[in-house]
Amino acid sequence: MIGLYQHPPTILHRVSAGYKLIALAVLSIVCMRIGNVAILAACLGALLAVYAGFGKPFVRRLAILRPLWPTMLAIFVAQIIVADWQSATASILRLLVMVLLADLVTMSTRMQAMMDALAPLLRPLRMFGVSSERISFCVAYVIRLVPLLLEQWQLYADAWRARTGNRPGWRLIAPFFANILRMAGRHAEALDARGFGASRQ
Amino acid sequence: MAQDGTFITFSNVDLSRGNEKLFSNLDIEIRERRVGIIGNNGSGKSSFLRLVNGLLLPDAGSVNVCGLDTCKDRNALPALAGFLFQNPDHQIVFPTVAEEIAFVLRERRVGAREAREAAVQLLAAHGHADWADRPVHQLSDGQKQLVCILAVTIGSPRVLLLDEPFSSLDLPTRHDLLMRLDMMPQLLVMASHDLDLLAGFDRVIWFEKGAIRGDGAPAKVIRDYRASFATMLEPLRIAAQ
């Protein structure tokens, strides 16, 4: 799941990425240790209050939880079978708390800041010839491309609907991918034009 | 005239695209500050620009930009000749504005904080300091194109190559961006179908099927270009009556 950077900025946007990541790690570990349903529910309530306090665009972000419900349901059922309903509820609450905590970090941290904070951890990869800068570049690029690809799909879907009057079907997939490949070529050319990687050759 | 030592020279350039020969023995020297490139689709406008920046290399002959040979000094070229594409979405790499503008500096090993500061300053100079942390996908097309212009010019290239950069923008935005470009010191080479916009340039070159069909003062070249397709359309016009 990739959450997106959120504008306008909140207090959290001012905290440095490193501290936020450490806090996230610590809080997540603490969260794993809590088995009490009431405490977990209180944590979730507090988090929801934080989201609400930041304003409407942040409350709307809670929609990121929607694709998670099948997984949650599966975990809940499995927990009831192997344990009891209390630990099942605790697991779900814990998951929600951890996802929302993590999203607070993603939405308030610029990609570059996040990657700079992670760079020391990625550095050992250099032994295998992988540059940590390249990894951070790729992650930022993917995040940039997500809204762009959604927009491209929408353009195709609109064109389809305009010409057929029907909802677009699987037949759009091939032209969509062909278009993405063409777009990838253009992006490569634009990077080339800006001298990407020249300083490392 | 462009700044001292800023020039583009094509000597005996041959270039094939696919199986077709596009340019043969092309000779051009550019020293004017603003040069427009016109011509029908497929006439060689884009290929011409790509040869200048080393995105395409000549099959024969040579292209020289401010003393650098595009074949030999290809890695040094992007710093010298910035390229602006038609669709900003095809060149923006980063999710937020300041990261995008700072990209070229970071590629040149400038520290993260320093690069960001330079980017924010440049945005402020253009009256958009508040864009720094805006997600790029929330900007309009014109705003995105301005971000692209800043992302290229922050690297202080001496030449700016523009491949139909304004074709999806409204008229006020075109003029706004062109005025901003005009205030920059770079030599501009712009391929465009917006003949009115090019009328104010110092020189216009008209390509047809890879050959120079017109070259010189914008007013005359643009008039000849218009006349050429007027003749071509004459039979249709008669048929329509």
H-helix or E-strand spanning residue A8: none
Residue A70 makes CB contacts below 8 A (sequence gap 6+) with none
Residues listed for chain B: 241
Least confident of A48-62, B44-58, B126-140, B188-202: A48-62
Q: Look at residue A198 and tell me if it is in a domain.
A: no
Q: Look at residue A145 and tell me if it is in a domain.
A: yes
* pLDDT tens-digit readout, A70-114: 888 999 999 999 888 888 999 999 999 998 898 888 888 877 788
Instruction: Tell me the percentage of chain A whose pLDDT exceeds 70.
Output: 96
**What pLDDT score was predicted for residue B234?**
85
What CA–CA distance (Å, rounded) separates B34 from B43?
A: 20
**Which chain A residue's Cα is nearest to B73?**
A198
Start-to-end C-alpha separation, chain B: 48
**What pLDDT score was predicted for residue A129?**
81
Q: How confident is the model at residue A156 (pLDDT cuts 50, 70, 90)?
A: confident
The DSSP string of A54-65 is H-HHHHHGGGGG
DSSP 3-state of A97: helix
Short-list B39, B27, B31, B26, CA closest to B202 = B31
Q: How confident is the model at residue A151 (pLDDT cuts 50, 70, 90)?
A: confident
Considering only CB atoms, A5 lies closest to which of B77, B96, B104, namely B96
Least confident of A136-145, B1-10, B230-239: A136-145
Residue B136 has pLDDT above 50, yes or no: yes
Are B25 and B14 contacting, i.e. CB atoms less than 8 angstroms apart? yes
Q: Look at residue A108 and tell me if it is in a domain.
A: yes
Q: Which two tokens stand for residue A38?
A: 């009431």
- Cα separations (Å) of A5 from A88, B89, B115, B148, B176? 32, 18, 20, 20, 29
What CA–CA distance (Å, rounded) separates A77 from A108?
A: 34
Higher per-residue pLDDT: B22 or A56: B22
H-helix or E-strand spanning residue B151: helix B141-153
CA quadruple B38, B43, B45, B46: dihedral positive or negative?
A: positive
Q: How confident is the model at residue A1 (pLDDT cuts 50, 70, 90)?
A: very low
**Which chain A residue's Cα is nearest to B113?**
A113
ipTM: 0.73
Residue A201 has pLDDT above 70, yes or no: no
Residue A44 has pLDDT above 80, yes or no: yes
Rg (CA), chain A: 21
What CA–CA distance (Å, rounded) separates A179 from A14?
A: 39
Short-list B229, B231, B230, B206, CA closest to B218 = B206
- Cα separations (Å) of A174 from A76, A113, A153, A169, B120? 38, 37, 11, 11, 41
Residue to substitute from B77, B96, B139, B148, interface A, most A β-carbons within 10 A? B96
**What pLDDT score was predicted for residue A148?**
83
Residue A18 has pLDDT above 70, yes or no: yes
Is there a contact between A141 and B93 if contact means CB atoms under 8 Å apart?
A: yes
- Cα separations (Å) of B105 from A133, A189, B125, B161? 14, 19, 18, 19
Residue A134 has pLDDT above 90, yes or no: no
Residue A110 touches chain B, beta carbons under 8 Å: yes
Residue A110 makes CB contacts below 8 A (sequence gap 6+) with A5, A17, B96, B98, B99, B133
Q: Look at residue A104 and tell me if it is in a domain.
A: yes
Q: Look at residue A201 and tell me if it is in a domain.
A: no
Are B135 and A7 contacting, i.e. CB atoms less than 8 angstroms apart? yes
Q: Distance from B55 to chain A by nearest Cα, in Å? A: 7
DSSP 3-state of B199: coil
> What is the bridge-based pairing of β-strands B81-84 and B187-191?
unpaired
Where do the H-state alpha helices sit in B67-140?
A: 77-80, 97-107, 112-125
Q: How confident is the model at residue A200 (pLDDT cuts 50, 70, 90)?
A: very low
**Which chain A residue's Cα is nearest to B163?**
A190
Residue B3 has pLDDT above 80, yes or no: no
Is there a contact between A111 and B94 if contact means CB atoms under 8 Å apart?
A: yes
Owning domain of residue A115: 2-193
Where do the H-state alpha helices sit in chain A?
A: 17-33, 37-54, 56-60, 69-82, 85-108, 111-122, 132-164, 173-193
Residue A120 has pLDDT above 90, yes or no: no
Q: Which residues pair with B17 in a beta bridge?
A: B20
Residue A84 touches chain B, beta carbons under 8 Å: no
- The set of long-range contacts for A9-18, using a CB threshold of 8 Å and a minimum separation of 24, is A9/A108, A9/B133, A10/A54, A10/A58, A10/A108, A12/A104, A12/A105, A12/A108, A13/A108, A13/A109, A13/B133, A15/A108, A16/A113, A16/A117, A17/A105, A17/A109, A17/A110, A17/A113, A17/A114, A17/A116, A17/A117, A18/A117
**What pLDDT score was predicted for residue A74?**
92
Is there a contact between A190 and B90 if contact means CB atoms under 8 Å apart?
A: yes
Residue B142 has pLDDT above 60, yes or no: yes
**What pLDDT score was predicted for residue B64?**
96
Q: What are phi and psi of B158, to 5 degrees?
A: -95, -20
Q: Distance from B150 to chain A by nearest Cα, in Å? A: 13
Q: Which two tokens stand for residue A134?
A: 């390249």
**What pLDDT score was predicted for residue A133?**
76
**What pLDDT score was predicted for residue A199?**
52
DSSP 3-state of A52: helix
Higher per-residue pLDDT: A199 or B99: B99
Order of strands across the sheet that contains B187-191: B81-84, B159-163, B187-191, B34-38, B203-208, B211-216
Q: pTM, whole model, 2 decimals?
A: 0.75
Q: Look at residue A186 and tell me if it is in a domain.
A: yes
**What pLDDT score was predicted for residue B60?**
95
Q: How confident is the model at residue A4 (pLDDT cuts 50, 70, 90)?
A: low
Residue A64 has pLDDT above 80, yes or no: no
The chain-wide mean pLDDT, for chain B, equals 92
What CA–CA distance (Å, rounded) separates B98 from A163?
A: 40
What CA–CA distance (Å, rounded) separates A3 from A139?
A: 12
Residue A56 touches chain B, beta carbons under 8 Å: no
Residue B48 has pLDDT above 50, yes or no: yes
* pLDDT tens-digit readout, B143-173: 999 999 999 999 999 999 999 999 889 999 9
Which chain B residues touch A194 with a CB distance below 8 Å? 78, 82-83, 91, 103-104, 107, 151-152, 155
* pLDDT tens-digit readout, A165-179: 777 778 788 888 888
Q: What is the mean pLDDT of residues B110-128?
A: 93
Q: Look at residue A136 and tell me if it is in a domain.
A: yes
Segment 14-33 of chain A within 8 Å of chain B by CB:
none
Q: Which two tokens stand for residue A10?
A: 């909140």
Q: How confident is the model at residue A198 (pLDDT cuts 50, 70, 90)?
A: low
Q: Look at residue A137 and tell me if it is in a domain.
A: yes
Q: What is the mean pLDDT of residues A17-25?
A: 89
Tell me how many domains chain A contains. Answer: 1
Residue A116 touches chain B, beta carbons under 8 Å: yes
